Amino acid sequence: MDLPKLAIAALGGTVSMQARHAGEGVIPTVSGEALLASIPELTTLAQVTVETLGMLPSASLDFEFLLRVLSWAKFQVEHGAGGIVVIQGTDTLEEAAVFFDYLWPHDIPLILTGAMRSAAQPGADGPANLLDACRVALAESSRQRGVQVVMNGQIHQACSVRKVDSLALQAFSSPIVGPAGLLLENHVRYLHPPRPRTVLPWPQQTTQKVAMLETSLSADTLLLENVLTLGYDGLVIGGFGAGHVSQSWATVIEHLCESIPVIIATRTGSGSTALASYGFSGGEMDLIRKGAWMAGFLCPRKARILLWLLLGCQRLDELARYLGSGIDPQH
């Protein structure tokens, strides 16, 4: 029986990092091909193609690079790949996942994974995460689920996954909804059926700029007042609680909303913004009246990616659809 085709892209990140000299910090040095050699079992599961597309810490990835990775992934599908795996650093894993998910048009699974321990550390989790990600990418039950993140034996939807710990192995979680599935005895087990997806077209422009600011106690408005002057085309604010700002911020936001889209998310790390609970100046009802959008369950970082993409493909009129009240922002 012919084995299915699986394509793997390595972008860098902790999973690829080692120290060149004792006492130095780890840096990306291990190629995707070398990572693949550490898990020979994978060759019994699929015909594997692996390419090292970058050797970058994930903090240095950008939207232009991710679009090139996505083009590579689409090319692999067009040439028969039945599953795609992307290995990258975990610092921006949740953001890259949702970026891909908004643009991934195929039923074929696209799976992201990484590692919390470097390749040189005892108990490095990279090989196990990569093997798990490949199993998920090859599973028939993973089709029509868009882009997912596989870490530490769990499968997370791109729209809900967040990095919730800086160094722990169990660094990834999906607040409120929990994981979409699990790896149990090397088998993929989903907890819910796939949902219908809405995919955005490829962005027609990539020069748009979207700022992101976070509220804090007694914060001044200097940065906020200069958003337009600095040439930003949109703004996302990580607001207090259920999507609130100070009275002074609310005044500036009203002015900004006359020129650019402004989205208010919650900085709390879990939960949704409100719509009709708080009526004070700077509360969500006041901000909505002033022209701002509430992000719902979408965190500030993912709201910024959504706004950047909508501006880039000239679909800003669909913003309300993507900022619906459901936990999954695509519904």
pLDDT at 18 over 80: no
Of 308, 52, 298, 310, nearest to 201 by C-alpha is 310
What rounded mean pLDDT belongs to the chain? 93
DSSP alpha helix (H) spans, 169-221: none
Residue 129 CA to residue 111 CA, distance in Å, equals 11
Q: Is 299 helix (H, G, I), strand (E, B) or coil?
A: coil
> Does residue 158 sit in the same domain as residue 294?
no
Q: How far apart (Å, rounded) are the C-alpha atoms in residues 146 and 158?
A: 8
Domain of residue 298 covers: 210-322
Is 196 inside any structural domain? no
Residue 59 lies in a domain: yes
pLDDT digits (tens, 9 = 90+) for 115-158: 999 877 888 899 999 999 999 999 999 999 999 999 999 999 99
Q: Are residues 26 and 54 in the same domain?
A: yes
Which tens digits make up the pLDDT trace of 205-226?
999 999 999 999 999 999 999 9
Sign of CA pseudo-dihedral 277, 280, 282, 285: positive
226 belongs to a structural domain: yes
- pLDDT band for position 11 (50/70/90)? very high
- Taking only Cα atoms into account, the Rg of the chain, rounded to an integer number of angstroms, comes to 20
CATH of the domain at 285: 3.40.50.40
Question: Does residue 11 sit in the same domain as residue 54?
Answer: yes
Check residues 27 and 235 and name the one with the higher pLDDT.
Answer: 235
pLDDT, position 121 = 84
d(CA 94, CA 247): 32
The answer to whether residue 195 sits within a structural domain is no
pTM: 0.94
Residues 165 and 291 in one domain: no
Total domain count for the chain? 2
The verdict on residue 227 lying in a domain is: yes
Sheet arrangement for strand 293-294 = 210-214, 234-239, 262-266, 293-294
Q: Domain of 108: which CATH number?
A: 3.40.50.1170
Q: Which residues pair with 263 in a beta bridge?
A: 236, 293
Note whether residue 283 is domain-resident: yes
pLDDT of residue 325: 39
